[in-house]
Amino acid sequence: MTQTHSLVDVDVEEKDVACRTHAGELIRFYCEPCGACICVVCAFQQPHHDHDVSTFSEAISKHRHALDGLLGRCRDRAEQLRTHLELTARWAVNIRTAEQQVYMYNYTGIQSWDAWVRGQHGRGHSYSMGNI
Ligand SMILES: [Zn+2]
Ligand SMILES: [Zn+2]
Q: Which of 7, 51, 11, 8 is nearest to 29 (CA)?
A: 51
Instruction: State the pTM of this model.
Output: 0.40
**Strand ranges in 14-104 using DSSP code E only, listed in sequence order:** 27-31, 36-39, 53-55
Q: What is the CA radius of gyration of the chain?
A: 37
Cα(118) to ligand 2 centroid in Å equals: 92
Query: pLDDT tens across 25-60, in order?
Result: 988 888 989 988 899 999 999 899 999 998 877 877
Cα(16) to ligand 1 centroid in Å equals: 13
DSSP conformational letter for 53: E
Distance CA 34, CA 25 (A): 19
Tell me the domains of the chain and their CATH numbers: 7-121 (3.30.160.60)
Query: pLDDT tens across 83-108, in order?
Result: 888 888 888 888 888 888 777 767 66
Banded pLDDT at 13 (limits 50, 70, 90) = very low
pLDDT at site 112: 64
Ligand nearest to the CA of 44: 1
Helices (H) and strands (E) in the chain, counts: 3, 3
